[in-house]
C-alpha cells in the first residue's frame, strides 16, 4: 500500500512539473497548422514565445490547463494570445481525435488583417476588428462549425481613395449542411452595406451591395475600387477564396 501511494505521488509530481517543451513534442502532430516555439513553464501553466498558424506569426501564447477534463479524454485550457497583430483569449477543449472546441473567445486585430480575404488591392483597410466566438469547432485548424459576431469599428480605407465608412457588423452561425453562413451590414455610417457569406470545406463565398449614404463623395470615390459599379451607382462585391490564403 505504501509503495502504491508513493507511485501515485511520484506520478502526480511528474505530471505537475512536466516541462511544456516535452509535452509539446508529444502533441505537436495533433496541432496541425499551429506551431509553437520558445516554450517555458509546465504542461499545466506555460508560455510560448512564438505562435504560428500556417506560417503566420501571431505573437506569444499563455495557457492554463484544467485537470478534470483529462479524465474524460479531453484537454481543456484557457488561452491568451498577445504581442502580435492579434490579441485573443478564450477557452479551448481538444480531443484525442484531433478536434478542437472553442468557446467564449474574443479576438482583436487591425482591420488590415482581413485584407487577403476581401481582396481589394487598391485600398488599405483601417480601423479595428473585434470577433466574438460563442462556439466553434476546428479540425486541423480548419473550422467545421462556428457561431458569433464580428465588428469592424471605425472602418476606413486609404490608398487609391480615402474614406471613412463607419462601423460594420457581421453575424455567423453553423448551418444544417455543415457550412457556416453569415450576414454583414452597416450600423448607420457613411457606407450602406448589406451582404451574405458562406464558409464551406476550406473555401468561402461572399456577396455584398455597397452604396454611399446620402451621396457621400469620399465613399462614392472609394467604391470605384470595390467590386463592380452598378447602373444605380452602387457597387456589387463578389468574392470567392480559399481560407489558407487568408493566412
* Predicted pLDDT at 2: 32
Report the pLDDT value the prediction gives residue 57, as an integer from 0 to 100.
83
**Model confidence at 12, in pLDDT bands (50, 70, 90)?**
very low
Q: Which residue has the cell 505537436?
A: 28
DSSP string, 5-50: HHHHHHHHHHHHH-BHHHHHHHHGGGGTTEEEEEEEEBSSEEEEEE
Cα gap 140→147, rounded to integer Å: 18
169-202 pLDDT per residue, tens:
999 999 988 899 999 999 999 999 999 999 987 7
pLDDT per position as a tens digit, 47-71: 888 888 777 788 898 988 887 776 6
pLDDT for position 96: 64
pLDDT category, 9, cuts 50, 70, 90?
Answer: very low
Given a cut of 60, whether residue 109 has pLDDT beyond it is yes
Predicted local confidence at residue 27, as pLDDT: 61
> Higher confidence at residue 70 or residue 218?
218
Query: What is the spatial distance between Cα 25 and Cα 61, in angstroms, rounded to a whole number?
Result: 16
Query: What is the predicted pLDDT for the residue at 97?
Result: 67
Confidence at residue 40, expressed as pLDDT on a 0 to 100 scale: 83
pLDDT of residue 217 exceeding 50, the answer is yes
Q: Grid coordinates standing for 163?
A: 474614406
What is the overall mean pLDDT for the chain?
Answer: 83
Instruction: State CA 97 to chain mean position distance.
Output: 22
What is the pTM assigned to this prediction?
0.81
Rg (CA), the chain: 22
Judging by DSSP bridges, how do beta strands 123-139 and 99-110 pair with one another? antiparallel
Amino acid at each position: 500500500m505504501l509503495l502504491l501511494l508513493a507511485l501515485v505521488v511520484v506520478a502526480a509530481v511528474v505530471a505537475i512539473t512536466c516541462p511544456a517543451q516535452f509535452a509539446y513534442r508529444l502533441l505537436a502532430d495533433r496541432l496541425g497548422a499551429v506551431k509553437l516555439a520558445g516554450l517555458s513553464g509546465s504542461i499545466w501553466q506555460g508560455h510560448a514565445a512564438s505562435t504560428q498558424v500556417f506560417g503566420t506569426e501571431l505573437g506569444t501564447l499563455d495557457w492554463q490547463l484544467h485537470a478534470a477534463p483529462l479524465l474524460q479524454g479531453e484537454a481543456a485550457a484557457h488561452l491568451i494570445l498577445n504581442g502580435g497583430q492579434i490579441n485573443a483569449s478564450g477557452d479551448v477543449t481538444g480531443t484525442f481525435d484531433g478536434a478542437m472546441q472553442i468557446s467564449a473567445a474574443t479576438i482583436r486585430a487591425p482591420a488590415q488583417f482581413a485584407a487577403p480575404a476581401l481582396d481589394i488591392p487598391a485600398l488599405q483597410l483601417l480601423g479595428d476588428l473585434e470577433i466574438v466566438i460563442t462556439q466553434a469547432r476546428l479540425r486541423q485548424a480548419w473550422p467545421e462549425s462556428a457561431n458569433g459576431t464580428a465588428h469592424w469599428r471605425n472602418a476606413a480605407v486609404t490608398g487609391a481613395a480615402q474614406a471613412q465608412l463607419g462601423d460594420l457588423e457581421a453575424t455567423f452561425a453553423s448551418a444544417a449542411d455543415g457550412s457556416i453562413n453569415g450576414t454583414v451590414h452597416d450600423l448607420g455610417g457613411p457606407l450602406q452595406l448589406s451582404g451574405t457569406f458562406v464558409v464551406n470545406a476550406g473555401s468561402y463565398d461572399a456577396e455584398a451591395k455597397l452604396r454611399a449614404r446620402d451621396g457621400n463623395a469620399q465613399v462614392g470615390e472609394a467604391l470605384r475600387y470595390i467590386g463592380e459599379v452598378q447602373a444605380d451607382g452602387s457597387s456589387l462585391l463578389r468574392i470567392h477564396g480559399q481560407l489558407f490564403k487568408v493566412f
